[in-house]
Chains A and B, each alone.
Chain A
Amino acid sequence: MDLGLLRRLAHRCCRYSPRVGIEDSEAPDSLLLEITGGAHLFGGEARMVRQVVADFRRWGFIVRATVADTIGAAWAVARTAAGPIIIPPGRQAQALSRLPVEALRISSEVVEVLRALGLWTIGHLAALPRETLPSRFGPEILRRLDQACGHIPEPIVPERPEEPIEAAYGCEPPIESRAAIELILQRLLARVMKPLQLRNAGILQMDIELSVPKEEPTQFTVGLVRPSLDQKRLCELLRLQLERVRLKGRLAGATLRVIRTAPLEADQAALFEAAEHRHARRDLDSLLNRLGNRLGPRAVLCPRLSPDYQPEQAVEYATLAEQVSQKSHARSKRSLHGGSSRKRKDTDGQNKNGKTAYFVRGSLSGCEPNLRRPVRLFPEPVPVQVWSVVPHGPPIRLQWGNRNQQIVHCEGPERIETGWWRSPSVARDYFRADTQDGQRLWLFHARDEGSWFVHGEF
């Protein structure tokens, strides 16, 4: 599950408990709620669990929930049992005894060893002498067993929603001068940068709202490729956006909100990295920031191949913001895994969203290298008239607009068909054709319509 989504759900769950955390694992998909002393507010543990499950269903998630004394016991039972389960206080050892050993949150290698030795359940494992476990199966197993049984503590690291960072300025009387507006934005920027410096976080995205009396406020967004607290560069980006803003009157107030932040990366030079490379990297970041802010987020794109034979679907475009969020997601995931041990007392929600689909992203290795594709692919295939010797065979002459061209050489067909389940489905025969003018075109015959199109140019 997406860590960002899990965090947002954790923030929503603050309505049930003051301490809500995310499980400590490589692919977290569970939320941990401390409900000690709070269940009576919902009419008891059973009612509370039912309400949590119902609320998640309303938000579009099917979850499993378990109440137990320890995180380990709640996690294990939630993974193996279907319905909401409440383990009575002090009974987690009995509840765990019949569960399989993999419910202990141990590595798959250890699980295999245990199974090979005939130790199928946690009860089998608990029956062995404790002292022998670390030397036989590693230190992890005893820690997990003790955590599940409540012999050693496991704290919940709470997910706290970050306080919004924003700064506002009111103008009395309203002002018109561009230089003054710029100065106000610079001051607002300086104000939001102070709390960020304490957090060692940089700005990734900020929204600016400019209010004009009796008019709708004007808003614009400044986005960055990398988190930054460089006031000079941020001011330059603000200025770039401000140049394009046309205010309908005098400025009465301005608000600057920091929407997305990320930990500042230490810009430490590698031992053998040339200064020129470092400058080039910074220069590129600065360029992408300028391009994205002046031309708009959809104008600067990073292409990725997609494993699809239909030419239009064979490539995906990520904006810079999407690219950055993927990178920061990977980083935050790594930092979370290095977290401390946790202790917990009761509920565990396992999200199983049946609607989630997983796609295999295309990569260079995923591309069929022998496919001959044109350098230019038209956004929409252009209808043309074609003459062939045999019906629907290789074309010999082409009428494209006013131009009537002879085809001197033709190669094909390459048949591309999509499955019937895709709408609209595609059934095309592609030809590479050299015209007398020296153009090499990518033509196709739409088999369902019977018409011809030019789709690209080599």
Chain B
Amino acid sequence: MMVMTDDFPPRSAEQPASRVLTLQRLAGQLQKLERNSHPVGDSCSVISSGIDVLDQLLPDVGFRAGSLIEWMAEKGSADQLALLAARSALGEDRVLIVIDDEETLYPPATAALGIDLRRLILVRPKRSPSARGKTTCVETLWALEQALASRGVAVTFCRLEKLSAKVFRRLQLAAERGRGLGFLIRPHTARGEPSWSDVRFGIETMNEGDSSFARRWRVEVLRCRRGAAGERFALLEYDDATNTVRPIAPTLPAVSPRRARA
């Protein structure tokens, strides 16, 4: 005996157009659910990274104010791109705070990227000799939380390796209070760790070996709180002569969505 109902037609009977509509409706509901998880009064203000291709990877075409952005990369390779994205987020009168406990950020390079040094503040908490290595010292985390929670700071930039879920949540709440952006530069080894960030980018540098010597990155959205997670990536090239970032290939779907959700 075969029972047929109008509510659950067999898959073969569904028209392709209606399937697309169903998927869109479900995606919309999912986005709505996730949006509702944001605090009341969050007017969804979006801050552009100043790099169109990067903005296009995100569901809001930019970063949500009051969020954390993770840049997962091998040591040093994401700093330049993250600082370029911070440049346009500074706006007219807010500042960029760099929590630099390694004391390595080089301001002339930051100035060359187009960041006004009058609006750059370096915070260099002293690491105790025992904390040298991969442990993030308490002072660094305290300074990071304070900077994230301040309304006068547009972007807080920090390199972090280990980060517990509890501390991460504290940082995220601080970022929500401050309504700025928190750029956390993290190693690839932290991919498997739980995250409270809004967006997690995976950055890989590309060595083409051509004569231009331009800096090239493959930027992949590994995780995004509100849809489109891991489904897109972009290839970017930085031209230091003009101080601009441009796409070098059209944006394509990622090969493996599963990898993207790591």
Give me the interface of A with B, judged by CB distance under 8 Å.
276-277, 279-288, 290-291, 294-296, 298-305, 311, 314-315, 317, 364, 367, 369-379, 408-409, 411, 432, 434, 436-440, 456-458
Assuming the contacts A409-B209, A434-B207, A440-B215, asked whether A284 and B150 have C-beta atoms less than 8 A apart, the reply is: yes
Query: Are A315 and B107 neighbours in the complex by a CB distance under 8 Å?
Result: yes
Task: Report the number of A-B residue pairs with Cβ-Cβ less than 8 Å.
Answer: 148
Query: Are A305 and B106 neighbours in the complex by a CB distance under 8 Å?
Result: no
Residues of B within 8 A of A294 (CB): 139, 142
Assuming the contacts A281-B152, A317-B122, A409-B213, asked whether A372 and B240 have C-beta atoms less than 8 A apart, the reply is: yes
Residues of A within 8 A of B74 (CB): 437-439
Query: Are A373 and B106 neighbours in the complex by a CB distance under 8 Å?
Result: yes
User: Interface with A: B8-16, B24-32, B53-61, B111-119, which one?
Assistant: B111-119
Give me the interface of B with A, judged by CB distance under 8 Å.
74-77, 79-80, 83, 93-95, 102-113, 116-118, 120-126, 139, 142-143, 146-147, 150-153, 204-207, 209, 213, 215, 240-241
Query: Are A280 and B109 neighbours in the complex by a CB distance under 8 Å?
Result: no
Say how far A396's CB is from chain B's closest CB, in angstroms. 13
Assuming the contacts A291-B143, A456-B106, asked whether A305 and B77 have C-beta atoms less than 8 A apart, the reply is: no
What are 12 sample pairs from A and B whose C-beta atoms fall under 8 A apart?
A279-B151, A286-B150, A287-B152, A295-B125, A299-B123, A300-B121, A311-B108, A367-B112, A374-B109, A375-B105, A377-B104, A378-B104
Say how far A315's CB is from chain B's closest CB, in angstroms. 5
Q: Given A281-B152, A364-B111, 15 other A-B contacts at CB below 8 A? A: A284-B95, A287-B150, A290-B146, A291-B146, A291-B147, A295-B123, A299-B123, A302-B121, A303-B122, A371-B112, A372-B240, A375-B113, A377-B104, A432-B213, A456-B106
Residues of A within 8 A of B142 (CB): 294
Q: How far is the CA of A409 from the CA of B210 in the complex (A)?
A: 8
Q: How far is the CA of A298 from the CA of B94 in the complex (A)?
A: 22
Q: How far is the CA of A37 from the CA of B121 in the complex (A)?
A: 55
Query: Are B104 and A436 neighbours in the complex by a CB distance under 8 Å?
Result: no
Measured CB to CB, the nearest residue on chain A to B213 is: A411
Residues of A within 8 A of B152 (CB): 280-285, 287
Query: Are A284 and B124 neighbours in the complex by a CB distance under 8 Å?
Result: no
Residues of B within 8 A of A285 (CB): 152
Residues of B within 8 A of A439 (CB): 74-77, 205
Most buried by A among B105, B121, B122, B204: B121
Assuming the contacts A277-B93, A303-B120, A437-B74, asked whether A375 and B106 have C-beta atoms less than 8 A apart, the reply is: yes
Residues of A within 8 A of B124 (CB): 295, 298-301
Query: Are B108 and A438 neighbours in the complex by a CB distance under 8 Å?
Result: no
Residues of B within 8 A of A279 (CB): 151
Query: Are B106 and A374 neighbours in the complex by a CB distance under 8 Å?
Result: yes
Measured CB to CB, the nearest residue on chain A to B124 is: A299
Query: Are B125 and A280 neighbours in the complex by a CB distance under 8 Å?
Result: no
Residues of B within 8 A of A411 (CB): 213
